[in-house]
Structure formats: structure tokens, C-alpha cells
Chains A and B, each alone.
Chain A
């Protein structure tokens, strides 16, 4: 089964840091671009950023509100995606979802959805409050 499981959420004070992780299984993680999306309470979805595969350069792109504060990384040996969040603000309070980006390969088949977010985790909640 293709699955993403986020962890690391919690309560943090403004200005603090938090590191989220996302464990991937059921697909070839090293071949998948990955991204983070967040959703503030009662609000819509918001893109956080994306990381390409090492084959494609491993580069990252971020949404303007988090650029310079958040860092996305990946550990292909552990099938894990990370999101390091620094200088947190109250407006960063949200459920954070890990997603595949553009498709994935599983069971010998590859599914391509260009610039689509095809597999989602269940989310982890981050609350920034004093």
C-alpha cells in the first residue's frame, strides 16, 4: 500500500523551531518529487514547498511566506521527507501534509500527474502560540 505518515507536530512558542518528518512506504521514494502543503484551522490549502529527486538535482522551491525560514530535505536511505521550520509565527499554525508531487512508481508501474499532488499523508498539527 502506498502510504505517507507525518510526525513531529506539536505546540511551539513564536520564534521557536520544529522539525516534521514524513515516512514513505509502498512506492519508490527516491524516484518521487515530494512536497509539503498546509491548512490553517478552518482555512484553505496552502503550498509550502517542493523537493526534487537527487537525479533531478535535489533542488527545493518554497512559497513566499516560508522562504528563508523553512527547509525541506530528504533522506532516500530512510524513505523520509523532512521539514525544518524555524522562526515560527502564529500564522504558521496549521495541519501540515506531506505529498508526492507529479506522480510515483509502485509495483513496477509509474503514475504521472504533472504538477499534481497524488498521494497525501494524514497530516500532523503544528500550533504556534505563547
Chain B
């Protein structure tokens, strides 16, 4: 069982917006602004999409954004495109000085 809880799957049509939640505790997500999000296509290595809750690395589409409220972080993808179909993972730094991971969310673009 993963330390952070994500929905197993979400779906949306092209052009729509979707949000993936990542719920932790006051010992991880709620303790720091160190939540990051990763995209993983089948058979590929994960790719950093968002760091420090809402920081978008260079080269990542503006359609990806992150936020946090209390013990829950969220990743929003606007203007869904077919290439966004992938697995998404959240990771948080924790008070134990380790990283804790979410179980992953499969995004289907209908």
C-alpha cells in the first residue's frame, strides 16, 4: 500500500481539463511544499512534470499545473491531448527524510 493515495484512473476527452489528486498526511504532503509529479508512458522512464508543488521545469507544457491544499496535492492538465495519456505519479518529501510515493493514476484520453 502506497503512502500517498491517488485515484487508480481518470479520463477525459480531448480539450477538456482533468485533475489528479494525491492525498498524504501532515508528515509528508502537509509538512512541506516538496511535492513533485511524474508522467510515465508505457515502457518508458518517468519524466518530471512538476516540482515543489507548482514549479514547471523548462520544456514542460504550460497545460500542466500543480497545487496543494493541506495534505492533498493536485495535478491539473488542461486542454487534454492524446499524448497526455500515460501514468502519473506524485512524490513527496517526508519528515522521515525519505521520499514517499503515490500508487499512480492511469489517465485515459477518450
Total interface residues on B, using CB and 8 Å? 27
- Indicate with 1 or 0, residue by residue over B57-98, a CB within 8 angstroms of chain A CB atoms: 110000000000000000000000000000001011100011
Complex interface: chain B residues within 8 A of A114 (CB): 34, 51-52, 93
Assembly CA distance A120 to B98 (angstroms)? 18
Given the contacts A113-B36, A120-B46, A47 and B57 also touching, CB distance less than 8 Å: no
Q: Which residues, 30 to 45 on A, are CB-close (under 8 Å) to B?
A: 35, 37, 44-45
B12 CB contacts on chain A under 8 angstroms: none
Distance between Cα atoms of A113 and B34 in the complex (Å): 9
Cβ of A97 under 8 Å from chain B: yes
Give CA–CA (A114, B54) in the complex, Å: 12
B45 A115 Cβ-Cβ under 8 A: no
Whether the pair A123, B45 counts as a contact (CB closer than 8 A) is: yes
Cross-chain contact A63 with B45 (CB below 8 angstroms): no
Contact A116 B48 (CB under 8 A): yes
- Which residues of A are in contact with B by a Cβ distance under 8 Å? 35, 37, 44-47, 50, 61-63, 97, 111, 113-118, 120-123
Known: A45-B104, A47-B91, A117-B38; 15 extra A-B contacts, CB below 8 A, are A35-B99, A45-B40, A61-B97, A62-B98, A97-B45, A111-B57, A113-B36, A114-B34, A114-B51, A114-B93, A116-B34, A116-B51, A118-B57, A120-B46, A121-B45
